[in-house]
A and B are shown apart, each in its own frame.
Chain A
Amino acid sequence: MRKTGFLLASLAASLIATTALADTAVKIGVLNDRSGIYADVAGEGSVIAARMAVEDFGAADKGITVEIVSADHQNKPDVGVNIARQWYDQDGVDLIVDVPTSSVALAVNEITREKNKIFMNSGAATSDLTGAQCSPNTIHWTYDTWQLAHGTGSAMVENGGKSWFFVTADYAFGHALERDTSEVVKAAGGEVVGSVRTPFPGTDFSSFLLQAQSSGAQVIGLANAGGDTINSIKQASEFGITQGGQALAGLLVFISDIHALGLQTAQGLVLTESFYWDLSDQTREWSQRFGEKNGGKMPTMVQAGVYSSVLHYLKAVEATGGKETEALMAKMKEMPTDDPLFGKGVVRADGRKTHDSYLFRVKKPEDSKGPWDYYETVSTIPADKAFRPLDQGECPLVK
């Protein structure tokens, strides 16, 4: 476990502030994948984002001392739970952020409830975090499977992609994504003509893509992530599937995946994300600063979500003047969210954070001005439409 001790309140600041403000010391744990397939999506970039949130908030000036620690959960629920338990029990961590990989997120969700701490998830996809398994201690910040399925699924059907074939990663996440998207497609008047379950992780997808090709479906839905998605898109381009008139729908694609594919291969792909660095002056300014600290790599929506969630948490700490869990959770749900990256939104009773969601299309190489200039916005889905309606999630917290 790597520990990046990070003491923000300078001695001077705390000396000056002694009279006015009672000091609050909070400890934030960034728990994510630092070495495996999601290390570029989250990883060290999320730690950088958390630190930037602390700096931009000016925590030290406001009498809040923030320490940030980080660890690698290796995408294994048992490893994640052990770290979370140690952080809560021995290291005095108050808040865990990020946690990509749905299985790990669900496990950390449980332990956080048990220890009555706070968990603000940015990295995981499963909509169960605010559904059947919702918790009074958890906020799901950036995106979820419902949002992705609806964003990409309904847009493709509206544009004439009526028949679908799924290439699905053969584990819980892939099945959930296929299920959610199939429902959207059918509800919108489309049909699902077939699907194939591919072993995870996979290298060669050509034979599955060939099955998708011979199905004659108009849209091939990629219900997979990371390296699986990269390999599928790369090989679909090689086998002339998109040139043959079939469209590819990436159901969970991050900008780091597009960077790995290159525009030549990825062009035309339609995908849903909650954030893109080139949306507004504010996102550009922040992303520029982030990129300088992150070896030139632009932020993913997960890393942006970590920044935004830490910022909201610190606002609540400032407002309540303490770090008592119930008071903070109540405050975070009561205060509307507003930050430069995601704009305005709310944290709902079920723990779902809402904001606008975007349907992007990957640019052609000739339309791109340079590295990281990858997306053009097809449509914006407003915050109140982008996520699952509150009454449909079967979350016990919603009365």
Chain B
Amino acid sequence: MFELLGIPPQALFGQLLLGLINGAFYAMLSLGLAIIFGLLNIINFTHGAQYMMGAFVAWMLLNYLGINYWWALLLVPIIVGAFGIVIERLLISRLYHLDHLYGLLLTFGLALIIQGLFRNYYGISGLPYSIPPQLAGGQNLGFMFLPNYRGWVVAASLVVCIGTWFVIEKTRLGAYLRAATENPTLVGAFGINVPRMITLTYGFGVGLAAFAGVLAAPIYSVNPNMGADLIIVVFAVVVIGGMGSILGAIVTGFGLGLVEGLTRVFYPEGSAVVIFVIMAIVLLIKPAGLFGRTA
């Protein structure tokens, strides 16, 4: 049988597809980070905790209020996003005039507090959350069995990522956002409420993380550390893509998912570090990231 580097091509396609699915999560999370960094200049270390909150709030809605997965997809980003807005107004907004480092420390501390609270209340092992019945089962693609839910994850994240990119790059609202990133004082002088725009942007970025959390709940363990495990990788994705670059975050998110998927076939032991190796190489060759602009 025809083989590619010792692996049957069918197995390879399967692994590439799985890589793409993981990439979908990287893309959604790094997109939120990139937007927040781009506009607020805040390195949002709370992002992982907000992703975790997304999964937990979905669980709470189901178990306390009987609200199903589909409503959770809509409601959870709004609830967690609102929480993000409160955090931004109360705490983060006080740090804009200071160095990046302070924002990083604040958000990192917040992440630890949020994780600690959830751990204290719900324990560390996690909570069960089932795949919605409409998406149970899967398709036999010939080269692999694709669970319907994974297909849905890729589709949903592509729609969200492309939609976000479109709004920011192609609409008037996006133009204001981009202008405010460049020069907030000047944009303010044109009568645009820049602080409110910043607050809403933070809320939107947080909402994206929560959306990813809801998508993750049925397939990954819903536990207080689920975000902490993922966020370091996502930061590497953002650095590779270029800090603050929207398109960079999306493309490198999916791309690195593929690279990681391939590593899992050829050298599984290395699959946890391959992204960081790439990050080191990119930083050496193009410090601003693949899609970043050099200042």
Give chain A's interface residues, CB within 8 Å of chain B: 35-41, 43, 170, 196-199, 201-204, 206-208, 210-211, 213-214, 226-227, 230-231, 234-235, 238-240, 244, 256-257, 259-262, 264-265, 297
Contacts and interface: CB of A to CB of B under 8 A. Distances in A.
A264 B131 CA distance: 10
Contact of A39 (B124, B131, B138, B269): B124
Interface of B: 11, 14-15, 18-19, 21-22, 116, 119, 123-128, 130-131, 137-138, 144-145, 147, 149-150, 218-221, 223, 225-226, 229-230, 261, 264-265, 268-269, 271-273
B220 A238 contact: no
Most buried by A among B220, B265, B268: B268
A201 B229 CA distance: 8
6 contacts: A35-B124, A207-B265, A227-B229, A238-B219, A240-B145, A240-B147
A260 B272 contact: no
Contacts of B125: 40-41, 226-227, 230, 256-257, 259-260
A204 B128 contact: no
B61 to A, nearest CB: 17
B123 A203 contact: no
B147 A239 contact: yes
Contacts, number: 106
Contacts of A36: 124
Given A39-B119, A262-B130, A196 B124 contact: no
A170 B268 CA distance: 10
A315 to B, nearest CB: 32
Contact of B220 (A37, A210, A234): A234
Contacts of A208: 264, 268
Nearest to B137: A240
B220 A231 contact: yes
A264 B150 CA distance: 19
Nearest to A244: B145
Contact of A239 (B119, B138, B230): B138
A183 to B, nearest CB: 22
Q: Which of B125, B221, B265 has the most CB of A within 10 A?
A: B125
Given A197-B269, A206-B150, 19 more contacts: A35-B116, A39-B119, A197-B268, A203-B221, A204-B22, A204-B220, A210-B15, A230-B126, A231-B220, A238-B150, A238-B219, A239-B138, A256-B123, A256-B125, A259-B125, A260-B127, A260-B223, A262-B128, A297-B123
